Amino acid sequence: MQSAPNPKNRLAVVLLSGGLDSATALAAARRDGFQAITLAIDYGQRHRVELDAAALVSRQLGAIEHRLVTLDLRAIGGSALTADIAVPKNRSEKAIGDGVPITYVPARNLIFLSIATGLAEVVGARDVFVGVNAIDYSGYPDCRPEFIESFARTANLGTRAGTDAIAGKGGGFSIRSPLAALGKAEIIRLGMKLGVDYSLTTSCYDPRSDSSPIPIACGTCDSCQLRRRGFAEAGVPDPTRYS
Amino acid sequence: MQSAPNPKNRLAVVLLSGGLDSATALAAARRDGFQAITLAIDYGQRHRVELDAAALVSRQLGAIEHRLVTLDLRAIGGSALTADIAVPKNRSEKAIGDGVPITYVPARNLIFLSIATGLAEVVGARDVFVGVNAIDYSGYPDCRPEFIESFARTANLGTRAGTDAIAGKGGGFSIRSPLAALGKAEIIRLGMKLGVDYSLTTSCYDPRSDSSPIPIACGTCDSCQLRRRGFAEAGVPDPTRYS
């Protein structure tokens, strides 16, 4: 499912959050010869500035179009990212790696991949890229390879394009996670090689805005800590502005 | 997956569209002893009046809470229900049963079930009801039993509650489609027995509003035709106001 048989000019939908991982996934899609339509979801996240970052990243990496879909997950709540629950700060490395964090948004990737599949069907794309990776799936169940594979089967059973493919007419959907096996430092090294401008990305769960389109990161939430360590381990200067 | 082992007072999330099928699915959930939280999705559908109907049906059938989640699928388009494409009228019975119609919304049930799963996880429900049935899945791939089963597996792999269940801690998600085997007339007979007030429901893809909360149905779109025939076959007076 991950190999790309020279898809020169083939269209892909790339889920883009404005963060480091999905920017690198977009760069990998471009490397593999895909024309990319990027998709960001405004789900009422407290770190909404990432939506501006997603639009900048989309342009920097040569996507042909950027779409924004609004979905009000605050009507569901249940996460520090969508409800009035404090984002944890200064947690130890052990605590960060242990269990599903409070920043888990129930069924988020299930929902986002479903919307991306709908968009792919409409625009005629059969490949959907997502930036899930080895770091994520220590904590987030919806980043694990078993989930991604099961989702692809379900998406093909639940769409016109997919059932046509099952009946032998045309290709079905592939869910591509080019970062699946990579740690944060490896993702950063790959992105640097592929020309990602990480100064345009934002990972912070609790950022502070000033006049710049890219906000100031808190430096202490789980996501900031993983990002900082990733740059340090990769031996790459971290372009993030921390407060 | 469909049997209900006396779930007295157990909580379920019921997807409610304001139409005839999902109203009956809600009545079946109540019959099976579930406390219901109903969920309607405002996805930019042209027949938005169905959202008012959903709220009325929720109350009539004793749901404990009704939630409305907004998702702008017009940003995706690709369907007569969300884009500027005409709703087909006066199609023959053969044409209605033949292939995926233009009113198909790409990946709609995949997306809606994903959101319902997210809500279920937040409120602590493990059962999600959906009104898909035998009539639908002649035309809509995302109503077929294979899809529903595959979705349930995926939902369990992609959520905290589901992976806890797989690890032996607590129960996982069940996707319940109590109408799966029923035709339209059988659904109506079941609903009448369970006390559904079908005058509160609306099925029309292209309704006209007046001062009443329930709109006037066109009578000629595919959905109106299936509804009319269903009432006729069930031998039940059709409470719908047609124009």
- A–B: how many Cβ contacts below 8 A? 152
- Asked whether residue B3 carries a pLDDT value surpassing 70, the answer given is no
Residue among B101, B53, B42 at smallest CA distance from B216:
B53
pTM for this model (two decimals): 0.90
Contact B141 A159 (CB under 8 A): yes
pLDDT-derived band at B209 (thresholds 50, 70, 90) equals confident
Which residue in chain A is spatially nearest to B151 when comparing CA positions? A154
The percent of residues above 70 in pLDDT, for chain B, comes to 94
B39: which 2 tokens?
A: 């969920």
Q: What is the pLDDT of residue A2?
A: 45
Angle at CA A100, nearest 5°, toward A41 and A142? 45
Interface contact B130, partner A, CB < 8 A: no
Q: Are A94 and B104 in contact (CB under 8 A)?
A: no
The answer to whether the Cα torsion of B81, B122, B34, A110 is positive or negative is positive
A35 Cβ neighbours under 8 A, 6+ residues apart = A9, A10, A11, A12, A64
pLDDT surpassing 50 at residue B232: yes
Q: What is the pLDDT of residue A138?
A: 63
Q: A91 to chain B nearest CA, in Å?
A: 21
> Is the Cβ–Cβ distance between B200 and B214 less than 8 Å?
yes
Q: What is the mean pLDDT of residues B50-57?
A: 93
Binary contact (B72, A73; C-beta < 8 A): no
Whether A227 shows a pLDDT value over 60: the answer reads yes
B137 touches chain A (CB under 8 A): no
Burial of B166 (0-12, 13-18, 19+ CB in 10 A): middle
pLDDT at position B1 is 43
CB-based contact A142 B158, cutoff 8 Å: yes
> Closest residue of B to A67, CA-based?
B75
Instruction: Say yes or no: A102 contacts chain B, CB-CB below 8 A.
Output: no
pLDDT at B86: 77
pLDDT band at B140; cut points 50, 70, 90: confident
Please tell me the distance in Å from B142's CA to the nearest CA on chain A: 4
Residue of A nearest to B143 (CA): A158
Give the length of chain B: 243
Q: How far is B42 from chain A (nearest CA, A)?
A: 10
Q: What is the pLDDT of residues A25-72, one digit of tens each?
A: 999 999 999 999 999 999 887 777 889 999 999 999 999 999 999 999
Given this model, what pLDDT does residue B106 score?
A: 85
Q: How does residue A1 score in pLDDT terms, banded at 50, 70 and 90?
A: very low
Beta carbons of B76 and A70 less than 8 Å apart: no
Q: Which residue has the higher pLDDT, A143 or A181?
A: A181
Q: What is the pLDDT of residues B57-110, one digit of tens each?
A: 999 999 999 999 999 988 887 777 777 777 788 888 777 777 777 777 888 899
H or E segment at A68? Answer: strand A65-70
Q: Which domains does chain A have, with CATH numbers?
A: 11-234 (3.40.50.620)
Mean pLDDT (chain A, rounded): 88
Please report the ipTM that was assigned to this predicted complex.
0.89
Residue numbers in A near B147 (CB within 8 A): 154, 157-158
A155–B contact, CB cutoff 8 A = yes
Chain B residues within an 8 Å CB radius of A159? 106-107, 110, 141-142
Residue of A nearest to B137 (CA): A158
Taking a C-beta distance cutoff of 8 angstroms, is the pair A58, A20 a contact? no
Kindly list the residues from chain B whose CB atom is less than 8 angstroms away from the CB atom of residue A73. 69, 118
